[in-house]
Amino acid sequence: MHFDDISSFFDMGGYGLYVWLSFGAASLSLLVLWLDSFLSKRTLLTQVLSEQARQARIKVAAEQSAAAEKSAAAEKSATAEQRTHGEEI
Amino acid sequence: MAVISVINLSVVKTDRLLFEHLNFAVEQGGLLYVKGQNGAGKTSLLRVLAGLVNADSGKVYFSQQNIKDCRDDYHQHLVYFGHKLGINLTLSAVENLQYWCKQHQVVISVDRIFNTLAQLNLVGLEDIPVANLSAGQQRRVALARFWFKQNAKLWILDEPFTALDNQGIELISKQITQFLIGGGAVVITSHQALRLDYPTDELTLEYRI
Amino acid sequence: MWKWLHPYAKPEHTYYLCQRLLPWFSLLGLAVILFASVWGLAFAPTDYQQSEAYRIIYVHVPSAVLSKSLYSAMAIAAFVGLVWQVKTSFMAMMALAPIGATVTFVSLVTGAAWGKPMWGTWWEWDARLTSQLILLFLFLGVISLYKAFEDKQQAGKAAGVMAMVGVINLPIIHYSVQWWNTLHQGATIMKLGKPSMPPEMLWPLLLSILGWALVSAAIFLLRMQNEILQREIRRPWVVALANKSSTLSEGT
Amino acid sequence: MLFFILVISLFPLAVGPEPKTLQLIGPGVIWVAAILSSLLGLERLFRDDFQDGSLEQLMLSNTSLPAAALVKVLAHWLTSILPLIILSPLLALFLHLNEPMYWALLKTLLLGTPLLSLIGAIAVGLTVGLNRGGVLLALLLLPVFIPLLIFATSAVESASMQLQYSAQLAIIGAMFLLSLALAPFAIAYALRVSQT
């Protein structure tokens, strides 16, 4: 160890402010960058899931509307049939 | 011989897959009508065919040659009509068309330009700035190109009938038919039903999420 | 010749490669950077001219060195992407850019903090600081150009062109700033006397450069994964991956 | 152009009419103003053609795109920079530049400003499809223009001290030739990228 005790280590021969400021700023910046990368990875993974859910919803909606169309068409033809039946009677 | 053919084409736009593994060919005298909902990728397909945009994967061939390898030759024989008219509003109709013809190395007399504009019902509007014309009239100016490029083998038309009146639609349809009969190939999109008396191939693009 | 590289151009493979390398680079980088910093801060001898303030060198020099290499790496990625049309290359470029910007920022802050005790001002228009500042602008330009586009494929190409313009300009900037600096205040520049640096000082410096490089590489791997996920958000393998990770996090 | 004169006439008002001070900052002021006003004109270089589709039609013709881009750049230089150079004697008068300084300034302007148009057009080509290109354009271009600014002003400064400045001129000339060779292709590529 180059320094005699802890307080002189923190003092850095009177330049403590500048030295610790530099190291602090550097580690803080790297930490923030890492955190940003890490957190955005997590949000991205959850986004994938919500995107998937959204697509599933759209698919269901499309199927429903298709089914509704079909049943509406079937109903129409059914009523038409009934009408022709009625005329027959 | 196929004028334009497409092999295994896929196009991605804004990280959305519009279509993939698309294959088709348009022969001489062939008319391909591209259908699909809004956002299905019709315009994107046409822009890829024209060579304005690169496809994500797959290749486009113009008479058996990859369009990337014969760009000049391809563009020499192509007329592309897009959403944007390519008309400068501060220039007059005649100036616009002359400028276009020079770019495309089409030699044409001013009289022919005047004649064609007259055919398109633009008499008296030939030499005033295009900005003073109505939307439909501006479109007619742009559509006059169909009469000029004689050596064209392929027309790629993106919604050519928008903003035209019935008479205009008929005029353009007639010109398209004539081009087809002369052995040209046409790829077209249109929201109005085509009123062409000509055998049509159809390609429907599904809207994907 | 390039055949062996080809599988890694496929995003999925790249993702798993990053996944495999990530823990190694992170742990090793963290260890080296901590070791070098402690050595530099507590055990390296004092500089007879600058006393303890010189210890800023152990963050300033690594960040300054890295900022330039990261810009070059980014430009190389851009070049590969533009010439061979490799999509993963643009992703690498955009994964590198924020790291480069951060590192350049660190080198500016530490440069200022070093300048205050040595030159008496926080900001001196010194050649190195000035070209670092311009470098930061170049990084920010590339990043904001990329962000401005909706279509990320288009964005990659555009940012790539700008990165290339920047890298052609970088030596000219460096040279011009030096010229300008000697013209205006040749005498005030203080020489560091690098060659005469004793090995007890030099070793921690080299180690800390290595540590910074490793940590940057680790963050790059992480960001690269993010870029891939973002671009491939609808692909089945990404969905499977997301499902797996969500069940994992629910389990713990 | 008006912008250019206005910016330059602001400086004497801001720092005082002292001829010595003005002479000191003069070349820098003129160059900074030239860069800023070239940015203003650049923004519209390809915008209209992009929006009305003329650019598409140009790309789909046999006309070479790099050549067309070069003509566009020349047009920009002739319309928005040449007037500044023609006006520069007046501005030199405003800022009390002496005769050798003025000649040096004129030479750097003639050699250096085409560089502004050429490099600027690359960035304009890239941002033409974006809605808010203005600020982005400044962020992209100003750092790139710094070397030019440094060499040009240092040439004028050398002239004011009766020194040789052919070295600076040679460097500016080299940069100009390099960009003349490369920029048209970069602009053409940028314009193709902007098409979607």
Q: Between vectors from CA B149 to CA B144 and to CA B155, what angle results, nearest 5°?
A: 80
What is the per-residue pLDDT for C186?
A: 41
Domains and CATH numbers, chain B: 1-77+151-209 (3.40.50.300), 86-149 (no CATH)
Report angle CA A75, A78, A82 to the nearest 5 degrees.
Answer: 135
How many CB atoms within 10 Å of residue B19? Answer: 21
Neighbours of chain D (3+ CB pairs under 8 A): B, C
Higher pLDDT: C50 or D154? It is: D154
Paired strand residues for A51? none
Give the pLDDT score at D116: 92
Can you tell me the mean pLDDT for B61-89? 88
Q: What is the pLDDT of residues C74-113, one digit of tens each?
A: 999 999 999 888 888 999 999 999 999 999 999 999 988 8
Chain D within 8 Å of C109 (Cβ-Cβ)? Answer: no
The secondary structure of B48-115 as a DSSP string is HHHTSS--SEEEEEETTEETTTSHHHHHHTEEEE-SS----TTSBHHHHHHHHHHHTT----HHHHHH
* pLDDT over 80 (residue C196): no
Q: How far is D151 from chain C (nearest CA, A)?
A: 7
Running DSSP on this structure, what letter comes out for residue B129?
Answer: B
Q: What is the pLDDT of residue C250?
A: 60
**Percent of chain D whose pLDDT exceeds 70:** 100
- Per-residue pLDDT tens over the stretch B110-145: 888 888 898 888 888 888 899 988 888 899 999 988
Nearest CA distance, A68 vs chain C (angstrom): 28
Q: Which residue of C has its CA nearest to D194?
A: C154
Query: What's the whole-number average pLDDT of chain B?
Result: 87
- The distance of C107 to chain D (nearest Cα, Å) reads 18
ipTM of the complex: 0.83
* pLDDT 10s digits, A24-56: 999 999 999 999 999 998 888 888 888 888 888
Comparing alpha-carbon positions, the chain D residue that sits nearest to B70 is D62
The confidence score (pLDDT) of residue D37 equals 87
Proportion of chain C above pLDDT 90, given as a percent: 38
User: What integer pLDDT is reported at residue C192 of this predicted model?
Assistant: 47
Give B165's pLDDT tier (boundaries 50, 70, 90).
confident
Flag whether C touches B (3+ CB pairs, 8 A cutoff).
yes
Identify the helix (H) or strand (E) that includes residue B16: strand B16-27
d(CA D196, CA D178): 30
Disruptive mutation site among C12, C56, C119, C220 for chain A (greatest number of A CBs within 10 Å): C56
**Cβ separation of D56 and B75 shorter than 8 Å?**
no
What is the pTM (predicted TM-score) of this model?
A: 0.86
Contacts of C239 (CB under 8 A, 6+ apart): A48, A49, A52
Cα(C22)–Cα(A33) distance, rounded to whole angstroms?
15
Whether chains C and D touch (3+ CB pairs under 8 A) is answered by yes
Structure tokens at C202: 């030099």
Give me chain D's average pLDDT, please: 88
Chain D residue with Cα closest to B78: D60
Distance to chain C for D123, nearest Cα, Å: 7
Number of domains in chain D: 1
> Count of B–C CB contacts within 8 Å?
12
Contact state of D48 with B88 under an 8 Å Cβ cutoff:
yes
The reply to whether residue D60 touches residue B52, judged by beta carbons under 8 angstroms, is yes
Once rounded to an integer, what is the mean pLDDT over residues A4-22?
Answer: 79
Residue B56 in this model has a pLDDT that exceeds 90: no
| CA atoms within a 13 Å half-sphere pointing along the CA-CB vector of D90 | 11
D160 to chain C nearest CA, in Å? 14
Instruction: Tell me which chains share at least 3 CB pairs under 8 Å with chain C.
Output: A, B, D
Cβ–Cβ gap B53/D54 under 8 Å? no
